[in-house]
Amino acid sequence: MEMTSTQNTTQAQNYRFQFFGKGSEFFSIMIVNWLLTLITLGIYYPWARAKRLKYIFGQTALNDERFNFAGTGKEMFRGFIKVILFYIVIMAVYILLVLQQKPFMAFLAIVFLMASFFALYPLIVHGAFRYRMSRTSYRGIRFGYRGNRTELIKNCIKWSLLTIVTFGIYGAWMSMNVRRYTHQNIRYGNVEFNNASDGGAWFIINLKGTLLTLVTLGIYSFWWQRNMFNYYIDCISMQKGEQKIQCHSTATGGGFFKLMVVNMLITVFTLGFGVAWAQMRTQRFIWNNIKMEGDINLDEIHQTEAEYTNAFGEDAMDFFEIDLA
């Protein structure tokens, strides 16, 4: 009897992250950046940030092929100027209200400052994702961000009001809603990103982390960091037609303990000069603990995304210390 079978063309692919950054190389970049930023009274900062990102991206590899960041200091400088102007206007209005020396005006000044941040937040996030993704590529194919600014603004207003009404409790849901929305609008060529983050799960992780960290006098904080990192990574997936990649974290509490304690010792005993080595150790730890499993063939991905050079969101994110996660 002759038996026939159909061969499954969908095969599991091999994905392996590596990070090649060296503390000595990054230290050289940091020293030059610090000196030039100091000499130019801060004007060089956008170029410093571009060099730092270009190095970190260039030292990160997937399957032995490195990522590339094409952002430039000139692009970031234009964004930097816009951020400074926005900040000056906001602070000028705030100071003028405070100088009225009336209780109601002082209250109004605080409300204005908070409202300004809430209003800027979705603009910053949208702009940062759009710029960062557009200027990042792998194997010559750009990433992209297709989020709608108006939609994100409306959502953030709703989520912010719910956070205020619930005295901050809804903040966990807002954080995950923003993360889910932005990630679901990321593209790598014709590959779509997805994120399954849930505010309830994030709230429990942080509630548990806070309580156990207090009870253990800080010891549990490393496992709290592990839980947050694992949740971030485990919720990420990618889709290309019927093909899919799922991300997994292999980080442990012990691993975070060793990373953070050694980084602290390196930084303290080198009087701060060892921060470059600490940052490279952190990057290596992150990428070594991200695993991907799936069947998307990287050779079959083609370019679909356009370039975008407005770096306002990127600079504002750094200026206001907002994490692009």
Determine the pLDDT at residue 2: 40
**How many Å apart are CA 36 and CA 56, to the nearest integer?**
20
Among residues 173, 280, 184, 291, the alpha carbon closest in space to that of 230 is found at: 291
Q: How far is CA 202 from the centre of its chain?
A: 17
**How many Å apart are CA 190 and CA 146, to the nearest integer?**
12
- The pTM assigned to this predicted structure is 0.85
Determine the pLDDT at residue 324: 55
**How many Å apart are CA 310 and CA 316, to the nearest integer?**
12
The answer to whether 200 and 174 are in contact (CB under 8 A) is no
Determine the pLDDT at residue 143: 94
Two structure tokens written together for 227: 């839980």
Question: How does pLDDT run across 71-119, given as a tens digit for each residue?
Answer: 999 888 887 888 888 888 899 998 998 888 888 888 888 888 888 888 8
Query: Is the Cα dihedral 62, 64, 65, 67 positive or negative?
Result: positive
In this prediction, residue 24 has a pLDDT band, given cuts at 50, 70 and 90, of very high
Question: How does pLDDT run across 31-76, given as a tens digit for each residue?
Answer: 999 999 999 999 999 999 999 999 999 999 999 999 999 999 988 8
Four-CA torsion 209, 210, 215, 216, nearest 10 degrees: 50
CA angle 116, 119, 124 (to 5 degrees): 110
Per-residue pLDDT, averaged over 297-304, amounts to 86
Determine the pLDDT at residue 137: 95
**How many Å apart are CA 317 and CA 325, to the nearest integer?**
11
Determine the pLDDT at residue 302: 85
> Residue 61 pairs with which residues in a beta bridge?
18, 66
Per-residue pLDDT, averaged over 139-163, amounts to 92
**How many Å apart are CA 280 and CA 245, to the nearest integer?**
27
Question: How does pLDDT run across 216-237, given as a tens digit for each residue?
Answer: 999 999 999 999 999 999 999 9
Length of the chain: 325
| pLDDT surpasses 80 at 3 | no
Question: How does pLDDT run across 307-316, given as a tens digit for each residue?
Answer: 544 544 444 4
Determine the pLDDT at residue 102: 83
Determine the pLDDT at residue 251: 97
Determine the pLDDT at residue 310: 53
250 or 1, higher pLDDT:
250
Question: How does pLDDT run across 159-212, given as a tens digit for each residue?
Answer: 999 999 999 999 999 999 999 999 999 999 999 999 999 999 999 999 999 999
Query: Is the Cα dihedral 163, 166, 167, 170 positive or negative?
Result: negative
Per-residue pLDDT, averaged over 265-271, amounts to 96
| pLDDT surpasses 90 at 264 | yes
- Give the ranges where 191-305 is alpha helix by DSSP (H): 199-215, 221-234, 253-269, 275-288
Which residue type occupies 30? M
Among residues 169, 162, 161, 159, the alpha carbon closest in space to that of 207 is found at: 169
| pLDDT surpasses 80 at 144 | yes
Per-residue pLDDT, averaged over 123-147, amounts to 90
| pLDDT surpasses 90 at 120 | no
305 or 5, higher pLDDT:
305
Task: Give backbone dihedrals phi and psi of 77, rounded to 5 degrees, phi first.
Answer: -65, -40
DSSP 125-175: HHHHHHHHHHTEEETTEEEEE---HHHHHHHHHHHHHHHHHTTTTTHHHHH
Determine the pLDDT at residue 212: 98
Angle, in degrees to the nearest 10, between helices 171-184 and 149-165: 170
The answer to whether 79 and 316 are in contact (CB under 8 A) is yes
